[in-house]
C-alpha cells in the first residue's frame, strides 16, 4: 500500500468531523516531537518511542522490501535510500491534507519532492537514526513482523501537543530520547 493510500485511510474518520478536525490530525501527525507520522509510539511511558518506526513508515518501506524479494545482494545492508523515500512519501502524503481537503501535489518525482527528500537525507534526525544500528534493526524487525502478519502492540495515535512544526525543523529534531540532542541549526 502506498503512503498516500495509508494516509487517506487514516484521514477518513477525521473528514467526517470536518475540515478543522483533518487539519488538527495532520498537524499533530507531522509534529516532530510526538507525531504519528514518525513515531512508533507517540505517547510512550517516557515520551515518544521508536523514531522513524511509525506504522506509516513501516508499511511504506515494506512495499520496497516486498519488491526486492528474491533479489540477491552480496552483503546485507539497510536500505537507506528507500528509508529516506518512505519518510518523504509519508510526510508529503500528510501535507496533501494539510488544508483539511486533499490537494494533489503531482507525481512523486525529483521535481516535486527533490527538496523535501534532501531535507530528510541531510537532516540531523535521519543521520542520528542511521548512526545507531540497533534502531535500524528495530525498524527492519517491525517491517518483518508486518510482512509476516505478526501482531504489533496497539499504539495510541493521539498527539499530546498541537504545535505544528515545519518539515525542515522535523528533519532535524526527530530523535529518540536516549539520543543526544539534535545540534542547533542556524536558520
Q: Taking the mean position of all CA atoms in its chain, how far away is CA 177?
A: 17
Mean pLDDT value across residues 10-34: 96
- Grid coordinates representing 126 are 535521519
| pLDDT of residue 117 exceeding 90 | yes
Mean pLDDT value across residues 4-25: 96
The proportion of the chain whose per-residue pLDDT surpasses 90, expressed as a percent, equals 64
- Grid coordinates representing 12 are 477518513
pLDDT tens-digit profile of 75-98?
567 889 999 999 999 999 999 999
Residue 78 phi, psi dihedral angles, 5° rounding: -70, 135
For 14, residues 6+ apart whose C-beta sits below 8 A from its C-beta are 21, 22, 24, 25
Separation between Cα atoms, residue 83 and residue 69, nearest integer Å: 16
Give the number of other CB atoms < 10 A from CB of residue 49. 18
Q: Taking the mean position of all CA atoms in its chain, how far away is CA 122?
A: 16
- Grid coordinates representing 11 are 484521514
Give how far Cα 7 sits from Cα of 4, 11, 15, 100, 128, Å.
5, 6, 12, 13, 26
| pLDDT of residue 55 exceeding 70 | yes
Closest CA to 173 of 47, 82, 66: 47
Domains of the chain, residue spans: 3-68+81-173
Give pTM, 2 decimals. Answer: 0.79
Mean pLDDT value across residues 45-70: 90
Amino acid at each position: 500500500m502506498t503512503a498516500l493510500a495509508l494516509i487517506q485511510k487514516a484521514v477518513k474518520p477525521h473528514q467526517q468531523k470536518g475540515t478543522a478536525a483533518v487539519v488538527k490530525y495532520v498537524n499533530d501527525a507531522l509534529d516532530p516531537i510526538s507525531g504519528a507520522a514518525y513515531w512508533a509510539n507517540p505517547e510512550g511511558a517516557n515520551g515518544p518511542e521508536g523514531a522513524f518506526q511509525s506504522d506509516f513508515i513501516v508499511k511504506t518501506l515494506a512495499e520496497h522490501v516486498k519488491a526486492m524479494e528474491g533479489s540477491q545482494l552480496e552483503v546485507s545492508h539497510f536500505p537507506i535510500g528507500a528509508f529516506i523515500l518512505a519518510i518523504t512519501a509519508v510526510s508529503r502524503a500528510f501535507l496533501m491534507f494539510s488544508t483539511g481537503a486533499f490537494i494533489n501535489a503531482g507525481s512523486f518525482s525529483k521535481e516535486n519532492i527533490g527538496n523535501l527528500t534532501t531535507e530528510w537525507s541531510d537532516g540531523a534526525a535521519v543521520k542520528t537514526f542511521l548512526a545507531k544500528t540497533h534502531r535500524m534493526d528495530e525498524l527492519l524487525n517491525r517491517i518483518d513482523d508486518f510482512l509476516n502478519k505478526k501482531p504489533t502492540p496497539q499504539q495510541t495515535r493521539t498527539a499530546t501537543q498541537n504545535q505544528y512544526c515545519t518539515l525542515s525543523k522535523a528533519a532535524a529534531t526527530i530523535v529518540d530520547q536516549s539520543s543526544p540532542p539534535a545540534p542547533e541549526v542556524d536558520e
